[in-house]
Structure 1
């Protein structure tokens, strides 16, 4: 949850916050480390001070110990307890080598912190209490007869500890305040350092939305890396603006070219059935008295007009980006042959049809129909008088549809053959090259077998489409 919230925080807030928190924690940690170090040094100073205290105490007790005068020893210890300047004693113990020889002056021993001597540890020189408010200092004292006495003193450091604790609390508050100020300054400096980067991000964001406004560089010091970056960014924005304007002009030109090609293609596609319709009208005028001729002429006119209507509808659908798909039927093949029959009769070319579609084939009928219309019309125009154009339709073993158009012309130029096989033309009309490209989108294979001076055979192989399967 926290990590997701942090990742969603803008970098303009993350970086100053990280800088401020880092400086704050570093300042507090450094000061507290210094305080702990000073406290440890104070303990070592106290140990050294305890040793010095024992030196003075040993001097004061040396003479009574040499004489073995217990009363004088007690009086000297009492005088040491009475005179307190700098060091306060809680308890003094002198353990004499005699059995039970122990002289004690001061308060009762603390139950949780007795003298090391009483615990059987005569070699301990310094031992602080658990709360750090007192400590035992201890030393062995050699007597003239070779025996050893042990001096032990419990020193009270409670006032010094309280002063140190008050000082530590005061330093902690001051440290937190100063660290907070330093963190705030660091956050402001980080924010200021990020300002050029944020400006770059803002400019790039506007560029993504199409706004190529130049970045503001007035507040950036000249000659710095940031100034050079902003200058390069301004140059990039200017180039992008120029490129965007050029792209718009090119798009307008392409649009005009597409519209021109669309108009030319529609005119080409409408001209094909018009030729057959004009021939039908001429036949009706010449043989209008024959009822059968009139019926056939009206049928051909109706199919021609429907073909023109179909071309117009499909052009609108293609232009709007929506095309209605339907399967290829034998009626589509028959319509194409009927529309081209007048043109073939005028040129005295025989249209020979082999094979048929016993059932609808699962492919888009519109581009296939237009391809046949154009291929057969080109074949009729390329075939000399008295020649023949053959159309073969049938299925293959792998389920594909095979369509072959063969003429008896003088062959197809190589450039035209590559153009037909590659569908290199661009545009959105319904011309021959565009129809070939649509067939390629149906995963169809287009092959051309031609040589100069010989017949040309164009082969189309189409696989069935699953979305059109019955």
Structure 2
């Protein structure tokens, strides 16, 4: 993990105070550097002024003695003026004669008379200005002795500047302590302010995570920011979104329940019609048996009619039970599931005197990837809608085929009606919400689309040569790496 990535994972409540403290340290360094430079300039100016006063006083009294090359008088003057200029804190003073040799010094034992000025002492004063050596707490200065425009000697002096160094140290220590205290105060203030700013965002994030893992809940007013603003608008927006989602979910459940009840009502009436049709013939057969049961031919004919009628009723009941029994085992799709659709829709088609064409090029297959109840219900809804669109004496066509090297099951439904309206077509092939589906009158079509999506398939719409609308359900019957199981 790179340094930048490590910094990004640090909480914002830590990053912001750290950045504030770092910024304060940078500003403190810049300010401290400027203050110390200014202090250095002021101290040098002060030292130049004091040393200039010292050199002015010495020059006035030393010129006569230097002109006479009087060593003792020069030394006496240096010794007497030391007490006069204690405020300057001279450490060592050396007078050089016109011959360049030492005429007198404040410490004759260290620098004897008529000796050459030490090279190190001379190098430090080569420029002739007051120079400061902060390492040794010493300042150095040089003043030529001029009489009638001629240089008759030179005065070299060193000064104790330890008080200036102590002043610099005291200022530096004060700056560091002040800047450290300010950085700490700013960091603590930044931490408190950042926590207050981030707290609403943290609260919102917690509610969003909770909503993602369960039922979304609105944020209580007690957790709202104290002041209205962008964050307050964000909280209100989140609550409005949660309320809208709750209403949408409730509407979806209610519409699904209504569609379920409507489908059950249609199928119940269809079953009643399918069962009621053969009942009259069955009762007639029973009456015939009662009256002519002794006749073997009549008895055989009547029993055969009874057997076929009861078998038809049994098939209708079994198909309905298979359709609406909870499919907890995820039973795979078999060809008989599709044949049940023809049986269940038969009464509706017959009641409208319609023609139902049922075409299939499939064997008795078993498709483990698809759910039998889901596909059967989707096809049944399409057939019932096609019957309603075709009207009396219309025609309905249902075709089942397997294409794409046995990887796709295609179920197509068409009718002789005026064609599928654009609003209903959008329900099938788009992602319109429940209200749009309801306004288009295509709630059953919306359920078809959901069932096909659950089976990982898709829907295609096309027009035939005679302008019929053909609805095709493309359902995958195998996944990558899987093979379709066929059973004859």
Superposition TM-score, scaled by structure 1 size: 0.68
Distance 1:240 1:120 in 2: 77
* Contact persistence 1:116–1:136 (CA under 8 A): no
Instruction: Using the TM superposition, name which of 196-205 and 297-306 deviates more.
Output: 196-205
* Contact persistence 1:420–1:436 (CA under 8 A): no
* Contact persistence 1:81–1:89 (CA under 8 A): yes
Superposed, which structure 2 residues align to 1:379-398 within 5 Å? 379=387, 382=391, 384=393, 392-394=399-401
Q: Which residue of 1 aligns with 2:35?
A: 34
Give the Å deviation of 1:103: 3.9
* Contact persistence 1:445–1:461 (CA under 8 A): yes
Matched, 1:324 2:330: yes
Q: Which residue of 2 aligns with 1:155?
A: 158
Q: Which residue of 2 aligns with 1:226?
A: none
* Contact persistence 1:47–1:126 (CA under 8 A): yes
Superposed, which structure 2 residues align to 1:400-411 within 5 Å? 411=416
Q: Which residue of 2 aligns with 1:213?
A: 221
* Contact persistence 2:361–2:401 (CA under 8 A): yes
Q: Which residue of 2 aligns with 1:137?
A: 141
Choose from 242, 254, 257 the match for 1:256. Answer: 254
Choose from 336, 346, 365 the match for 1:360. Answer: 365
Q: Which residue of 1 aligns with 2:114?
A: none
Superposed, which structure 2 residues align to 1:220-259 within 5 Å? 230=228, 248=246, 252=250, 255-259=253-257
List gaps (5 residues or longer) in structure 2. Answer: 112-116, 209-216, 287-298, 429-435
Q: Which residue of 2 aligns with 1:164?
A: 164
Give the Å deviation of 1:21: 7.0
Aligned residues: 436
Distance 2:317 2:241 in 1: 47
Task: Give secondary structure in 2 for the equivalent of 1:306.
Answer: helix
- C-alpha RMSD over aligned residues: 5.2
Distance 2:344 2:468 in 1: 22
Superposition TM-score, scaled by structure 2 size: 0.65
Give the Å deviation of 1:22: 5.5
Q: For residues 348 and 115 of structure 1, do their structure 2 counterparts lie closer, same or farther at Cα, with a shift above 3 Å needed?
A: closer
Matched, 1:126 2:126: no
Q: For residues 282 and 462 of structure 1, do their structure 2 counterparts lie closer, same or farther at Cα, with a shift above 3 Å needed?
A: farther
Superimposed CA distance per residue, residues 192-220 of structure 1 (whole angstroms, 9 cap, x where no aligned partner): 87797467657756876512416789xx8
Give the Å deviation of 1:231: 7.5
Q: Which residue of 2 aligns with 1:266?
A: 264
Task: Give secondary structure in 2 for the equivalent of 1:444.
Answer: strand
Q: For residues 438 and 283 of structure 1, do their structure 2 counterparts lie closer, same or farther at Cα, with a shift above 3 Å needed?
A: farther
Distance 2:269 2:478 in 1: 34
Q: For residues 324 and 283 of structure 1, do their structure 2 counterparts lie closer, same or farther at Cα, with a shift above 3 Å needed?
A: farther
* Contact persistence 1:138–1:153 (CA under 8 A): yes
Give the Å deviation of 1:263: 1.1
Q: Which residue of 2 aligns with 1:223?
A: none
Q: For residues 93 and 115 of structure 1, do their structure 2 counterparts lie closer, same or farther at Cα, with a shift above 3 Å needed?
A: farther
Q: Which residue of 2 aligns with 1:63?
A: 64
Give the Å deviation of 1:128: 3.7
Matched, 1:444 2:459: yes
Q: For residues 272 and 456 of structure 1, do their structure 2 counterparts lie closer, same or farther at Cα, with a shift above 3 Å needed?
A: farther
Q: Which residue of 2 aligns with 1:108?
A: 110
Instruction: Using the TM superposition, name which of 344-353 and 268-277 deviates more.
Output: 344-353
Q: For residues 463 and 103 of structure 1, do their structure 2 counterparts lie closer, same or farther at Cα, with a shift above 3 Å needed?
A: same
Distance 2:422 2:120 in 1: 113
Q: For residues 59 and 276 of structure 1, do their structure 2 counterparts lie closer, same or farther at Cα, with a shift above 3 Å needed?
A: same
* Contact persistence 1:379–1:406 (CA under 8 A): no
Give the Å deviation of 1:295: 4.3
Distance 1:301 1:235 in 2: 63
* Contact persistence 2:65–2:73 (CA under 8 A): yes
Superimposed CA distance per residue, residues 158-209 of structure 1 (whole angstroms, 9 cap, x where no aligned partner): xx41x33444454455555555665566567667877974676577568765
Q: For residues 361 and 402 of structure 1, do their structure 2 counterparts lie closer, same or farther at Cα, with a shift above 3 Å needed?
A: farther
* Contact persistence 1:396–1:402 (CA under 8 A): yes
Q: Which residue of 2 aligns with 1:94?
A: 95
Superimposed CA distance per residue, residues 300-354 of structure 1 (whole angstroms, 9 cap, x where no aligned partner): 33322221112222xx56xxxx89363452x344444455667777887776555
Give the Å deviation of 1:382: 4.2
Give the Å deviation of 1:256: 3.4
Distance 1:405 1:246 in 2: 36
Q: For residues 281 and 263 of structure 1, do their structure 2 counterparts lie closer, same or farther at Cα, with a shift above 3 Å needed?
A: same
Distance 2:126 2:345 in 1: 130
Task: Give secondary structure in 2 for the equivalent of 1:466.
Answer: coil
Task: Give secondary structure in 2 for the equivalent of 1:48.
Answer: helix
Give the Å deviation of 1:246: 7.3
Task: Give secondary structure in 2 for the equivalent of 1:86.
Answer: helix
